[in-house]
């Protein structure tokens, strides 16, 4: 068993990449403010879903404010 654990450490290089805590809280606050979701709901979203909801809210705001479309955005 210990050999497997050591092997896993070699595979991952001793650590994993994590999402910056400040960015996580910015996204969580953004979603909680606009959707009135509680902490648990926001924090159980996976990264991709959370980012997608943030992007959708931002797109709605840009459209409502008649902001010109950025040709470099995908």
Q: Give this prediction's pTM.
A: 0.63
Least confident range from 5-9, 22-26, 27-31, 59-63: namely 5-9
Token pair in block for residue 50: 């959370």
pLDDT digits (tens, 9 = 90+) for 36-48: 999 999 999 999 9
For the record, the structure tokens of 11 come out as 């595979």
Q: Percentage of the chain with pLDDT > 70?
A: 72
Please state the domain extents for the chain: 17-74
Which pLDDT value is given to residue 45?
95
Crossing angle of helices 47-64 and 21-35, in 10° steps, is 60
């Amino acid at each position: 068993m210990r050999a497997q654990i050591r092997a896993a450490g070699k595979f991952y290089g001793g650590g994993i990449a994590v999402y910056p805590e400040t960015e996580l809280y910015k996204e969580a606050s953004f979603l909680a403010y606009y959707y009135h979701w509680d902490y648990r709901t926001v924090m159980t979203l996976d990264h991709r879903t959370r980012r997608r909801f943030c992007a959708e809210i931002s797109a709605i705001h840009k459209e409502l404010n008649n902001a010109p479309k950025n040709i470099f955005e995908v």
